[in-house]
Structure 1
Amino acid sequence: MDQVVNFDFRKKNKIKKIIAVMSGKGGVGKSTVTGLVATTLKNAGHSVGVLDADITGPSIPKLFGVNKQKVFQTEDGLSTAESVTGIKIMSLNLLLDNEDDPVIWRGPILGSTVQQFHDDVVWGDLDYLVIDLPPGTSDVTLTVMQQIKVDGLVVVSTPQDLVQLIVNKSIVMANKLETPIVGLVENMSYFMCDKCDEKHYLFGESKVKQVLDKHDIPLLAELPIDKTLVSLADEGRIELYPKTNLEFGASFERMLLSEIDKL
């Protein structure tokens, strides 16, 4: 594993925009939203890469079904894995002999690894690089925002009051570091009953409007609790979801591209 943090070369990747996906805490579906952001941009005709910066809890390879692929060192740097639709992916799990092995590293090494995943991976020409940040506002997130030029941030939340409190902290951090916010995605927003065709708010009434109004940011999507999305994610086929839920796919693409164009 020493080679991950000891590359002595840099390449010239041409990446037009970098979009990071952030949540104040774990378990809110941040990686799922990262997958949907990348897929939506790809479906819109853009070249896309995903950098999995959640070093100690990587799930991007599994979501995209590339967890059995291995990356390797070339003359120019580390190669990437590639999804069925051509999304380039880099994650520490792709360098491990066993994807179940834990990564027990301290903060500075984690931050250094993420920096090198940006600098020393052969991304090539990309319209968008989407970064899946780890939960919270600590070392790796700070490294990405300070050392990698992030053009915009997508914030992920869920309806619970506790999550809203932590989301506020994430937004304040982004503002202090002068990182523009693309918008907010509320995950697990509701459940649509198959029999009664009504929305059920399992976590109570959403407080997302209060957050949006407080910080003057747009709502990109209300993502439902959807067994189809869960199944596709488990099967490594998250890229199919916008085409199975056409209403969500079209709405999310319209809002996401509209807000990114303002950056």
Structure 2
Amino acid sequence: MTAITQEQIRAAIDSCADPDLKQSLLAAGCVQHIAVDAECIDIRLQLGHACVSRHPAIKQALTEQIEPLAGGRRIDIVLTQQISAHPGPKKLPGLAGVKNIIAVASGKGGVGKSTTTVNLALALAAEGARVGILDADIYGPSQGMMLGVAEGERPDTAEEKYFKPIIRHGLQSMSMSYLVDENTPMVWRGPMVSGAMQQLLNQTLWQDLDYLLIDMPPGTGDIQLTLAQRVPVSAAVIVTTPQDIALLDAQKGIEMFRKVDIPVLGVIENMSVHICSECGHEEALFGADGGERIARQYHTELLGQLPLALSIREQTDAGKPTVVAEPNSPHALRYKAIARRASALLAEKSQQVGNFMPNIAVEHD
């Protein structure tokens, strides 16, 4: 039987790239175990980001690379994913039940941040992660409606001091809208709002979350500062439209996170084009390439572009956002691509990436 060397197998794995990490599986430190005997080539891989939809294609690509070397041996590839905690740079105490906190922010209102947040959360869940949402927009909470939580539904409590998150579409969620009547205005000053946000965050019994997405209010005010100073945020994502005024405010948001040492994973450009429902013609109503320009200016990444689409609005207003309403639609696939890339970028921050040496055992008869 043809002998297989350690270097041949490593070279084959090194030739296969993870499309979301944008580096080889070997360089990314994904290989946990390699063993070869007379009958089988056994490979165990573990990815550190949410991407279950990619697993079949990765396994197939790796199998095709190894088959010419196999010499008739069976190829057994086991691919799993394990999302690690990536603490924020301030080394604040972690939040119980949560590995990673991602702030989804915008410089101004009306750019579709909340719609993007809920679909991004659902996309991460569809890619195999355990995900929660905290609606931190105390004045104008909207996640309850977007998730289809009925008006008047209240979270259960535990130990007379904790809330249990309300679960919809597989997401754990908490929002001020769950605690007050939806017609009750929050006529509060800044410190009260910041205190309410911290209570919602810390007094919710989050259950083993890989990611908690915080739907931030627009701007750079009290809640943003409180979040930066007292919450172990792993990273932030900025949502904008291509419109110049929105980009100006998005720049302020990026600058704010930079000043408080919270890394920005990238920019999501919402409402990038309008697609005519009759003829399919695309028109950039709010300008073109704005998200790409701001990402380039701040040395971050354009995570993706989303169209101005009637279906996205209708589905979200109905409490069944696009990723669950039409999981295989072009719009849902865009959200999933953004989710995979954001998850991969956060995984790259782990100090262990690229440093793990697999256990390789080669046996010859």
Q: Report the TM-score, using the length of structure 1 for normalisation.
A: 0.90
**For residues 12 and 228 of structure 1, what CA distance do their matches in structure 2 show?**
36
Structure 2: gaps of 5 or more residues: 1-93, 350-365
- Listed as ranges, the matches of 1:98-113 within 5 Å are 98-113=181-196
Tell me whether 1:142 sits opposite 2:225 in the alignment: yes
Runs of 4+ in 1 over 3 A off after TM superposition: none
CA deviation string 1:69-99 (max 9, x = no partner):
211322161121110x221110011011x21
Give the corresponding residue for 1:6: none
Cα deviation for residue 67 of structure 1 reads 3.8
Moved more, 189-198 or 216-225: 189-198
Bigger CA drift: 74-83 or 184-193? Answer: 74-83
**Aligned residue pairs: how many?**
251
Q: Any residues of structure 2 matched to 1:1-263 within 5 Å, and which? A: 13-68=96-151, 69-75=153-159, 77-83=162-168, 85-96=169-180, 98-238=181-321, 239-240=323-324, 243=327, 244-245=329-330, 246-263=332-349
8 Å CA contact retained: 2:268, 2:305: yes
Q: From the superposition, tell whether residues 130 and 183 of structure 1 become closer, same or farther in structure 2 (CA, over 3 Å).
A: same
Q: 1:242 to 1:175 in 2, by over 3 A?
A: farther
Gapped runs of 5+ residues in structure 1? 1-10
Cα 1:133–1:242, aligned 2, differ >3 Å: closer, same or farther? farther
- Higher helix proportion (structure 1 or 2): 1
Deviates more, 1:61-70 or 1:182-191: 61-70
What is the CA–CA distance in structure 1 between the aligned matches of 2:279 and 2:309, rounded to whole Å? 15
Mapped to 2, the partners of 1:208 and 1:53 lie a distance apart of: 24
Larger radius of gyration: 2
Secondary structure of 1:124's aligned partner: coil
Match in the other structure for 1:3: none
Q: CA deviation at 1:262?
A: 2.2
Q: Give the SS at the match of 2:162.
A: coil
What is the CA–CA distance in structure 2 between the aligned matches of 1:102 and 1:188, rounded to whole Å? 29
Deviation digits for residues 206-262 of structure 1 (CA, Å, limit 9, x no counterpart): 322221111011111111011111111110101425613354244323322222222
Equivalent-residue separation in structure 1 for 2:346 and 2:297 (angstroms):
21
Q: Give, in angstroms, the shift of residue 175 of structure 1.
A: 0.5
- Residues 197, 78 of structure 1: alpha-carbon distance in 2 compared, 3 angstrom cutoff: same
Deviation at 1:34, TM superposition (A): 0.8
Note the aligned Cα RMSD (angstroms).
1.7
Shift of residue 18, structure 1, vs aligned partner: 0.4
Conserved? CA contact 2:120–2:335, under 8 Å = no
Which has the larger displacement, 145-154 or 12-21?
12-21
8 Å Cα contact 2:243-2:287 kept in structure 1:
yes
TM-score, scaled to structure 2: 0.66
In 2, the alpha carbon distance for the partners of 1:223 and 1:12 equals: 31
Residue deviations 1:13-32 (CA, integer Å, cap 9, x gap): 22110011000011111111
CA contact (8 A) 1:242 1:248 kept: no
